[in-house]
Every structure is written in structure tokens, then in C-alpha cells.
Amino acid sequence: MTHHPRPEATALDLSWVHATTINRSAVERRCTSHVARRSVKQDYQLAWLLRAITCIDLTTLAGDDTVGTVQRLCAKARQPVRHDLLDALGMTTQTIHVGAVCVYHEMVSTAVAALAGSGIPVAAVSTGFPAGLSPFETRVREIELSVAAGANEIDIVISRRHVLEGNWQALYDEIKTFRAACGDAHMKTILATGDMGTLTDVARTSLVCMMAGADVIKTSTGKEPTNATLPVSLVMLRAIREFHQRTGQIVGFKPAGGIRTAKQALDWLLLVDDELGREWLDASRFRFGASALLGDIERQLEHGITGRYSAANRHAQQ
């Protein structure tokens, strides 16, 4: 996996943070019109769905995860689409695999072994995921242990209380410390937007995370009552765009939680295309956090080829 050049931490600019406000009604109107007017059809849709597969962080974060569960997930990550479907699409000679496999720390070594030689990164959720309320030293050590076990990417969670209290300096310092603990591993910073009160909170948090050196900003843990939504994503994408325009630095984006269908995946891909441009539609800059999405995409690919929907159990992920 080739990543974009890593962003460097910049000074915390509180004047920029405080000057940022969001008009919720305008954001919601933009998202409603986006879903109504943007679509892709037929062969173009199949191509976009193949691109979506390459941007999936195939995830298992369950209490009953076993070595076998993770090994099966990694096998699916290596070969996410059946060979006969790739043959029909003329993609036999192309390498199609997911963007990463995401697991708890306990399963990092299993995933690293199962993905050896594939070029697929292993991502570990860390820092007291999903609540982020374990002792600070424990959260930092968790990052270090996952990196030592072979994780290429670390998905950290922020302390939401810093956002709710408007303590931007504390949030900035926390993320800078997490980034240092990641070393060469890329850091995806989870905002947990479902725990925030307003879209202005989302925008300001996005800016602070990027100033502190986040490689990627991510909507959700997938465990909040509300996870990835188009309005939240639009706010985060525009924060990324503004940060890039002001600093020249590239920060990636990851919506996570609740994205289960191919249609939803296309909505997000097209939104990223509109707001950031085609160059952002690459696994080095964009990921989906998903556990159920891949099966529906494969069903849609088969429908596009054969004109018939197959049973969902023909496309199990694990």
C-alpha cells in the first residue's frame, strides 16, 4: 500500500478554530441534493464499485473474535471478489484487494501472519477503543504495543470530553502524543461524531486533529448511536479541503459505521469526488470502515454481470 506523503503537525491556530462555524440547514440541503442528482449507471457503476472494494478497511471488532475468524477475514481481504466475476469483468490480470484489515490489538499478530506478502496493511484500533477512557499512559502504551506487533495503521479515539468542554489545547496535545507513539504507522483519528453536539463541533475537531498531525480523520468508532452520515462527512471533507488549501498538506478521510450497501458506498465516493476531486478516491487517501459492505458490493457486481441477484449467503465475508 502506497500512502500519500504524511502531514506534519502544525501549530494550534485557535483563531482559525474559533472562527469556524457550520450552517446545519445548508449542509443538509447540499447532502439531499447530492443523493438526488449524483449517480452512476451500468458499466461505470461496476467500475466505481470495484474502486470501493479497494478502499474498504475490512473490519472485525467483536468480543467473540477468534484466530479462525480473523484468518478467514484476511483470506477474504486477499480475494474479495470471486474469480468468475473478475473474469466476466475483464479484471483477471488486475490485483483487487481491500485497503486494510482492521482488528483489536489481540489479533494484530494473527492478521499480520495471514496477510504476509499481500501488501495489505493491518490496522489496529487503539487508545481504549471505543470509549477512549482508559488511563492516558495505558492508551499510549497500547499504540506502542500494536506497532511492535506489526500494525501498519493505528485507529485512535479522541477524548470527546475535550470537544464538549472546548478544551482544544488538551485535544491537540493528546493527538500529538498519540502520533509520536505511532512512529511510522499511519494514524487514523476517530472523532466519534455521534457523541458531538453540533456540526460546528465536528468542523473544529477536524481542524484540531489535522493540526496535530492526523494522517486520516475518521467519523466514528461504529459503536456510537449515530455513526457515519453524509452531513458529518461533508463537514469533514470541507475541513480537509480548507486545510489542504491553507497548508498544502494532504489528510485522508474515513467514514465508518452503518455503511452497509453498495448504494451507500457510491453516495460517499461521489461526495468525495465532488468535494476533493478524483485524486482522493484512492486507498492512500480514502477508506470505508465496514464489516458488512463487501458482501452487498459483490452481489451488485454479480447482478451487473448476470442481470440476476444471487442469495446473500453466496457472498459471505468470513
Q: Which residues are catalytic?
A: 155, 218, 254
SS3 172: helix
Q: How far apart are CA 266 and CA 218, in angstroms?
A: 18
Q: Is 20 helix (H, G, I), strand (E, B) or coil?
A: coil
| Exposed / middle / buried, residue 206 (Cβ in 10 Å: 0-12, 13-18, 19+) | buried
- Round to whole Å and give the CA distance between 251 and 214: 7
Report the C-alpha gap between 121 and 89 in whole angstroms: 26
DSSP 270-305: HHHHHHH-GGG-STTTB-EEESSHHHHHHHHHHHHH
How crowded is the C-beta side of 314, counted as CA atoms within 13 Å?
A: 14
Residue 61: count other Cβ atoms within 10 Å of its Cβ. Answer: 18
Residue with cell 465536528: 202
Q: Which residues contact 224 (CB under 8 A, 6 or more apart)?
A: 130, 192, 193, 194, 195, 257
- Whole-angstrom CA distances from 63 to 104, 257, 260 are 10, 17, 21
Alpha helices per DSSP H over the chain: 14-19, 24-37, 42-54, 67-78, 83-88, 108-114, 136-148, 160-164, 168-182, 199-211, 230-247, 262-276, 293-306
